[in-house]
Structure 1
Amino acid sequence: MIWEPERLDDQRHLSEGDPGGMLPAVAASAAHVRTGYRTAVESRLDRLADHGRPRAIVVAGMGGSGIAGDILAAAAGNGAPLPIVTLRSYQLPGWVGATDLVIAVSGSGDTEETLSVATQAVRRGCSLLGVGPAGSALEAIAVQASALYVPVPVTGTSRANIWLLAVPLIVAAAELRFVPADAELFERVAKSLEDMAHRCRPSSESFINPGKALALDLAESVPMIWGSSQAAAVAAYRLVCQLGTNAKYPAVYGELPEADHNLVEVFDGPLAERDIFSDTAGRTLRLVVLRDAEEHPQVTRRRETSLRLARERDVPVTELAAEGTHPLERMAGLIALGDYASTYLALGYAIDPTPASAITEIKARNSQ
């Protein structure tokens, strides 16, 4: 697989190389926000408040569905009056009980890890909220337990439906009165995603298209992607995951200030060395920092120092700033940019971004 940047401005290649329609799916994010909000309201999530605020919230989900829990926690922020835990496993922790709310999220509705946790939650007497497709195995568990369920109209791969899955969780948090969110906020998020879709559209050339520009930065490198706040870290982790599933491309995730206690040492390692005579001179380390307006002051100092350290060692740097007043807005913009970049990176390598054959093969082998 050879990187050919000119492919990014070849409209025929972008169309034929994306038969599964990942680019249109990313462009539908704004519609997904609006649909997710409307579906959540119609599902009467206001009933969650009937039993008072839970002791803790556990969000069970895998892959693109699991990110929904991270988005909820970041939207609530450090001021949240209760713990919000994202669980990516088969087993519900022993401390979870009848006073806790378990939110099971699955884009397919039949993710085995999520179904396992949802079943355990019902047995322990936890409050349960399900989010997934109508008519799914997850909905059956929720219906049998007389639990709330949000039937979102998921199409295609679940990783392209992140806002259909995440928005109902924010609505639930708003009903429990620990995340300030209303119709106006979701509309602002949707409009910011529409703006990003316009700027990153396939017909927009690489020199003005932020999605293509980021793909060009990432290509032929080993990217370390760091976030400088809880919200930015969610977007950084999402980008690492999308690079893997869309572009089949490795990347390293980090969050400041923790990254300054370990990953920063990579600046002095073999991938940071540059040999101008090597055929693989471009295949070296790149630092990508996603920064946020709500950084801790010490994190801001660490970010600036880390970037300066990387540049002094000739490590290429990309710095991206979140925009918006609410954490959800800022996350949405960074996540959308990363979704476009990972898709364009795949297309630049002539990789179809939609199939996930290795994941499918693992599921098939494990089901035997």
Structure 2
Amino acid sequence: MLPAVAASAAHVRTGYRNAVEARVDRLADHGRPRAIVVAGMGGSGVAGDILAAVVGNGAPLPIVTVRSYQLPGWVGATDLVIAVSGSGDTEETLAVATQAVRRGCTLLGVGAPDSPLEAIATQASAVYVPVPVSGPSRANLWLLSVPPIVAAAALRLVQVDADLFERVAAALEDMAHRCRPTSESFINPGKSLAMDLAESVPMIWGSSPAAAVAAYRLACQLSANAKYPALHGELPDVGHHQVAALDGPLAERDIFADTSGRTLKLVVLRDVEEHPQVTRRREASLRAARERDVPVTELTAEGEHPLERMAGLIGLGDYASTYLALGYDIDPTPVSAITEVKARISQ
């Protein structure tokens, strides 16, 4: 898993190159769609969240991520469906891609070459971006996430170019250097965050749509890599429910206890582009947590473009979840519980 995370920069470059070579710009021939629906499960589904955050609130159309077997009833021939599957054979994504073809939607497929998903796209004369996925889909996030962004740029929904993707790759390379295994914990941000999260029940909040994607990704990675539970959410919404946990039993700390139990931990992922009222709510929530002696970790995104800031926070979280797994002597790569559930369904 560590080499896979370290390959994130290369994945950005490869994802961009493969999207250009697959001629995703052909999607513009159909005109601007009424809506974009991204179908994907697990790590592949995060590609839709990243796309929506990159395009931003100023988008002239809705961007929706579907994590199920069924397309919404309103999706039709004027819409673009982007089916993303690292393996190319995710049953939920294949079901949605098949429905999209039947309804006459424009289809873009992103996934493994020579896969069932590519077969569906080929039969429908749709654009398909084959990406060299290796290992679990969650370890190939950028291979799967970059092609939809390139497609959105072709539709003139967002301004991105090769220089931006190179800056993102450079930021991920820098993160890989800082989080390398030989780097000591006190200067390694990935190991430091893992130590902060250990023996806690983390609530991970993002202060913007981009930061909220990183918060969701971190919660997913903690589950998949470290087999560790976490809550996630976006400000200001979490200020209307999760913040109440600051007065709950997990927020209480017994300094005289012989062993330390798992206590609440607040992790806030900050973005430089915050709504002024979100900034006030974030500051008030952090103050409330500190007044109750709830441990707080605050991380600030860096970079000019939302994609750069997202990539930095996601890269850090990917390393932290992997190091937390190793700290608990857990192999972060296999997901036996997921495999078991899939096997039971297939029986």
TM-score category of the 2 structures, normalised to the smaller one: over 0.9
Q: Of 30, 33, 58, which aligns to 1:54?
A: 33
- CA 1:280–1:104: 2 relative to 1, 3 Å: farther
TM-fit CA distance, 1:254: 1.5
Distance 2:73 2:333 in 1: 37
CA distance in 2, matches of 1:279, 1:155: 45
Q: Secondary structure at the match of 2:128?
A: strand
Task: State the SS of the aligned residue for 1:63.
Answer: coil
What secondary structure sits across from 1:194 in the alignment? helix
Once the two structures are overlaid, the 10-residue window that deviates more, 81-90 or 269-278, is: 269-278
Task: Name the CA distance, whole Å, in 2 between partners of 1:93 and 1:309.
Answer: 40
The Cα offsets for residues 229-288 of structure 1, whole Å up to 9 and x where unpaired, read as 000000000000000000000001111000110111100000000112224435100000
**Amino acid across the alignment from 1:351:** I
Aligned residue in 1 for 2:2: 23
What SS does structure 1 have at the residue aligned with 2:65? Answer: strand
In the TM superposition, residue 197 of structure 1 has moved relative to its aligned partner by 0.2
Separation of aligned partners in 2, 1:224 and 1:324: 24
* Pairing of 1:212-223 with structure 2 (within 5 A): 212-223=191-202
1:192-250 Cα offsets, whole Å, 9 max, x none, are 00000000000000000000000000000000000000000000000000000000000
Counterpart of 1:121, as a letter, is A
Deviations 1:282-309 (A, max 9, x none): 5100000001011101000100110000
Alignment correspondent of 1:138 = 117
1:175 counterpart residue number = 154
Q: Of residues 321, 329, 334 in structure 1, which corresponds to 2:313?
A: 334
In the other structure, the counterpart of 1:16 is none
In the alignment, is residue 93 of structure 1 matched against residue 59 of structure 2?
no
* Higher mean C-alpha deviation, range 208-217 or range 279-288: 279-288
**Pairing of 1:180-191 with structure 2 (within 5 A):** 180-191=159-170
When residues 99 and 279 of structure 1 are mapped into structure 2, their CA distance, relative to the original with a 3 A threshold, is farther
When the two chains are superposed, the root-mean-square deviation of aligned CA atoms in Å is 0.6
Tell me how far apart the structure 2 counterparts of residues 169 and 311 of structure 1 sit (CA, whole Å): 40
Amino acid at match of 1:344: Y
Higher RCO (Cα < 8 Å, 6 or more apart): 1
SS in 2 for 1:103: strand
Task: Find the aligned partners of 1:328 and 1:78 in 2 and give their Cα distance.
Answer: 14
> Which residue number corresponds to residue 3 of structure 1?
none
Q: For 2:147 and 2:341, how far apart are their aligned partners in 1?
A: 30
Q: Which residue of 2 aligns with 1:82?
A: 61
**Which stretches in structure 1 are left out of the alignment for 5+ residues?**
1-21
Alpha-carbon distance between aligned partners in 2 of 1:314 and 1:27, rounded to the nearest angstrom: 35
Q: How far apart are the structure 1 equivalents of 2:200 and 2:30?
A: 51
1:88, distance to aligned residue in structure 2 (A): 0.2
Residue in structure 2 matched with residue 10 of structure 1 by the alignment: none
- 1:348-359 matched pairs, under 5 angstroms: 348-359=327-338
Moved over 6 A (4+): none
- CA separation in 2, counterparts of 1:182 and 1:279? 56
- What is the CA–CA distance in structure 2 between the aligned matches of 1:81 and 1:322, rounded to whole Å? 26
